[in-house]
Structures are given as structure tokens and as C-alpha cells.
Amino acid sequence: MDKKEVFILFNEHLGRGYSIYEKSFKTKGNFALFMVKGNKKKELVLTSKTDDKKGFDVIKKDKIKDYYFHFCELSHKNADTLKKIFPNLNPIPCLNKASFGTGDRLGITTPGHLRAFDNSKLFPFLAQQSVRENERTRRTWKDVLNDVVWGIFQEGYEGEFGADADHIKEEKDLLEAIAEGFTMFTIDPSDHVRELSKLSENQKNEIYQEILKKHNVNKYLEKTYKIDGKILNFDEKTLRDAAVVYFDAIEHVEKMYKVVKKKVKMFDFEISVDETETPTSPLFHIFIVEELRRRNVEFQNLALRFVGDWQKGIDYIGDIEEFRKEIKIHSEIARNFGGYKLSLHSGSDKFSVYKYFSESTEGFFHVKTAGTSYLEAIKIIAIHSPELYRKIHKFALKVFNKDKASYHVTTDLSKIPDIDLLKNQELPKLFEIDSVRQLIHITYGSVLNARNEKGEYLFRDNLYKIMFDYEEEYYDSIARHIGKHLELLGY
Ligand SMILES: [Zn+2]
């Protein structure tokens, strides 16, 4: 199959209303595949000198000279067929490499992410979505994975990638992610984490007595830990508190681990306790790891709740020097206990601390970003469809207070300028204001799902349409924006 010949034939005879994604061209045996962009949607084109559909669902067919051209929808079934032909389109476990996850709430960002990773040595988790994000965007694990597959194919990428089923709390969601072929499982046991501030001393003691009946965690009192040149020991109260906060949570993690272990041969496993009230102290970190080890839970990543304020879509808030000291100790603990990766959640836009995170972990880490790509998308809307942006913005203001409930943010809506007083060309500048970033960041679910009385989407279809028309500009902005993250992390 000669690429040039195929493209010339296609453009001359079928090309009206279509443009070819040239990088997508792939051959296999006696046929070739490539992706095209029509006026409203993208399609996969299968071409060969035989009338064989190779297992794809075909919507229309043409024959030009000796060549058959089969047009196929970007459906799940066709993605599955494509994955069988090109195994590199399947995610694989990352295991012991430094890595970076790029969530994509809209499912259209993978080509931009790939351009950001160009020349980077980080292992990319191109598919990464949390259960919460799936609920809010009404997407499934399968949607998430297949959107990535089409993005990879479009961009012609042949490297490796992982798929992270993020913030899983329930076994049901875990089983679904396993069935869909995800390669990383991030268990969020926060429903089983106890907050010390909500318990009296008596309650803590009672809970601790119950824990001691299950396992003699007391034995950690006898151990000393040499971390970063200092000796760390549990005293009774710290040990009790650590057990009260994390014991049940880790029991839950163990249960979830066994579920995966039974079904998947090789996988990445992460434990995330980042969404808790109080920062994870070094001794609490040690307790978690001791307990995981005792239960033979093999894990690649651990996401702690680090000091400072890790809000969505904006830079780190807090004492950078304090973070630097803490992260140094946590990194040392991770190395002492066998060298797993510390995982940084809410990693979007934390430009002021990446350097220290990268330094202290010696470049061995995992970072997760997600909402920042959505922000870049809405910025494209603000540039190319100011009317739509204004509607989204006003709608977001209405739903913000309800939507922020499950997020930790301190957004001050009074800092957001009155949009009616701004000219169209001033709208993109709004994204420099933290409060606007969070306003947009947090309301994505409501915005994407809002409908009128007739049941039509208020914004969703228009939003996707604009993004479709300006996708190249979007990819470039993502490449720059995520690229800046990678650069500061030293990759
Ligand atoms: Zn998280």
C-alpha cells in the first residue's frame, strides 16, 4: 500500500468534505487504515484491493480504480477491532518508571497530550479518569479508553501508554474497570478513613482497642526508622491515632487489591489518601506502608495528602519551604520502604512546587492532571465563540455553590469580574484569575449535562462542535500547557 497513491486517489475522488489525518496512515498486510475528518465527525477509512472489511463495521463503501475504500464509524466495536490489529493501542502496566497521567474529561485531548509528551521520557497514562468524573461527564470506562485509542491512532503514536481507573471506592467500579482492560487501579479508601478532629479521646481509645483485637499494631512501637538522617519512632498516642485514621482504610485497600490480583496478571496499583482533611505526617505515612506490606499489598504508587493547599486548577497555596521539607522526608520514606512512587494528585498547574517534588523524589514519581485540559478547552470556546462562553460562565455561576460541595476550594466569586462589562477579546484573559479557573473547573459536569425543557443540551453539542472546528489550536495549547508541567518536573 503506497501512502501517497492512496491519499491522491482519496483526495481526488472522495476527498470533498474530508481532510486526511496524514499521521494516522498505517498499513498491515494487504490493507491500509487512516483517519479522516469530515464536516461533523471523524471516520476511519479502510482501503485495500479486496472487498474485505477485516471485521470492521462499515457505513459506506467506494471503489476507485483498483482500490476499495470502506468508511467506518469511530465506534467501540471498531476500536476493539483496531486494537486487535495494532496491539500497541492497548494500554500496558507502567510498573517502575516515572509517569504522568493526563485526564481528559471531554475525551478529545489525546493528540494534544501526545504532543506534550513528545521527547519526554515519562511514561504517559493517556487514559485516566475517576469514578466521580465518569459520573459527572456520563462517560463509561469504555468511552474513556476508546477515546484515547482513537486519539492515539489519529496522531500515529506507536509508543506505550497506561490506563488509570482513578479514585475507585467500590468493588463494582473496580470490576468494571478490570473488565475494560484498564492497567492501573487507584484505590481511594477515604470512606474508611477516620478524621481525628471528629473523635473524642474516649472514642479514639475505644476504636484502637477494637483494632488491637484484629492485629497487634503495637509492635510498631518497638521499631525505629532512620529517615533522612533522623530517627523516627512511634509513641503510643501517635500510633493509636495512625491506626484510628488508617487501619480500616488499609483493610479496605487489601480487599480491593485481592480483587485485582485474582483477575489481572500485571497491573499498577495506587493507594490514594490525598483527599483527607489533615496532611499525612511522616509517621502516618510509615504506618500506612507498614500495614500494606504486612498484608502483602504490592503497590507502585502512594498518594498522600501533602502539606499546603492543593486546589483544583490553580497553583499551590501555602508555605513552599514547608512543603519542600516534608516532601524530602516522604521521598526518603518511600525509598527506604522499597522505592514506590509518590503520586501527586490535583497536579494541574502546581508550577511553584514541581521542581521540589521532582528533586526530592529524584525524578521517580507519578503526577495526575485532569481538569486543566478542560480549562484549556473552555478557553478555546472563549476565543472562538464568546457568546457560548458567556452562557457557560453565567450558568457556572448559578451552579457553583452546589457543585463545589465535593471539592476542596476556597473560590471567591466576588473576585470574578462582571462578564457583561467585558469585551469579547477580554474573555480569554479571565483564565488568569484563579477564581474563574475554579468556577469553570468545578462546574464541568453541570455544564456538560445541562438541558432545556425539550431535553436538548444547553451547551454540550455546541461546545464539542467548536472544539471539533478548532482542534488543532486546542492540541497546540495543550502541548504548551502540559509541556510546561513536564519541563518543570525535569522531563
Ligand atoms: Zn486525588
The pLDDT of residue 278 is 80
Q: What is the mean pLDDT of the chain?
A: 96
Task: Give residues with Cβ within 8 angstroms of 397, minimum separation 6.
Answer: 413, 416, 439
Encode pLDDT of 253-264 as tens digits.
Answer: 999 999 999 999
Question: Could you tell me the strand order of the sheet in which 163-168 lies?
Answer: 123-125, 99-102, 365-369, 341-344, 301-303, 268-272, 184-187, 163-168, 127-130
Q: Is residue 278 part of a domain?
A: no
User: Cα-flanking dihedrals φ and ψ of residue 51, to 5°?
Assistant: -90, 30
* Phi-psi domain of 240 (left: phi exceeds 0; alpha: psi -120 through 50; beta: other): alpha
Tell me, yes or no, whether 389 lies in a domain.
Answer: yes
Distance CA 382, CA 73 (A): 30
Final residue in a domain of this structure, among 85, 102, 133: 85
Task: Give distance in angstroms: CA of 293 to centre of ligand 1.
Answer: 22
Distance 344 CA to ligand 1 centre (A): 8
Q: Is residue 458 part of a domain?
A: yes
pLDDT of the residue at 228: 85
Catalytic residues: 166, 270
Count up the domains in the chain and report the number: 2
Grid look-up 475528518 returns 37
Please say which residue of 64, 85, 106 terminates a domain. Answer: 85
**Domain ranges, residue 443:** 373-483
Q: Ligand 1 centroid vs 478 CA: distance in angstroms?
A: 21
| In-domain check, residue 473 | yes
Q: Which three cell numbers stand for residue 9?
A: 486517489
Residues 98, 474: Cα–Cα separation, whole Å? 26
Give me ligand 1 centre to Cα 328, in Å.
20
CA of 333 relative to ligand 1 center, distance in Å: 20
Asked if residue 64 is part of any domain, the answer here is yes
Residue 378 domain-assigned (yes or no): yes
Cα 186 to ligand 1 centroid, rounded to whole Å: 9
**CA-closest candidate to residue 392, choices 469, 470, 324, 444:** 444
CA pair distance 332, 359, nearest whole angstrom: 12
236 C-alpha vs ligand 1 centroid, how far in Å? 30
Question: So what's the pLDDT on residue 367?
Answer: 96
Strands 301-303 and 268-272: parallel
266: Cβ contacts below 8 Å, ≥ 6 apart: 93, 95, 183
Q: How far apart are CA 147 and CA 151, in angstroms?
A: 6
Residue 37, domain member (yes or no): yes
CA angle (210, 215, 216) in 5-degree steps: 100
Contact 45, 34 (CB under 8 A): yes
Q: What's residue 408's pLDDT?
A: 78
Choosing from 85, 107, 127, the residue where a domain stops is: 85
Per-residue pLDDT tens listing for the chain (491 residues): 899 999 999 999 998 899 999 999 999 999 999 999 999 999 999 999 999 999 999 999 999 999 999 999 999 999 999 999 999 999 999 999 999 999 999 999 999 999 999 999 999 999 999 999 999 999 999 999 999 999 999 999 999 999 999 999 999 999 999 999 999 999 999 999 999 999 999 999 999 999 999 999 999 999 999 998 899 999 999 999 999 999 999 999 999 999 999 999 999 999 999 988 789 999 999 999 999 999 999 999 999 999 998 888 899 999 999 999 999 999 999 999 989 999 999 888 999 999 999 999 999 999 999 889 999 999 999 999 999 999 999 999 999 999 998 787 888 899 999 999 999 999 999 999 999 999 999 999 999 999 999 999 999 999 999 999 999 999 999 999 999 999 999 99
Q: What is the pLDDT of residues 311-320, one digit of tens each?
A: 888 999 999 9
Looking at residue 313, what is its pLDDT?
A: 84
Tell me if 26 is assigned to some domain.
yes
